[in-house]
Amino acid sequence: MGRKLGELTRGMRALLHEMAADERSIFIQKHKRKWMEVSYFVNSFPIRNLRVSMVTTLLELGMIRVHPRGHFVLTTRGQLEASVTEIRKHT
């Protein structure tokens, strides 16, 4: 854990931006090959598997939260971070 709390990787920022732009969610499903493990994926095509550490870090930072139906959605903080990323792209 060489990263400071609050410091996001390029992949995390891209994921937040993608979730905000298209109102996407992160879903959990049972891992196909490993017993007692889960896979995280974004409801997009192509389906990308995410590392558990990325999802847990975004949860700890308050960028995403668990929806009552069991999938992960952006919080207000996550939406703000995604908008900052969008502004940086255009300047």
Q: pLDDT value at position 53? A: 84
CA quadruple 14, 80, 60, 32: dihedral sign:
negative
Is it the case that residue 89 has pLDDT exceeding 80? no
Task: Tell me the angle at which helices 10-22 and 52-60 cross, rounded to the nearest 10 degrees.
Answer: 80
pLDDT in tens, 2-47: 455 558 888 888 888 888 888 888 887 776 776 666 777 776 544 5
Check: CB of residue 26 under 8 Å from CB of residue 38. no
Is it the case that residue 1 has pLDDT exceeding 50? no
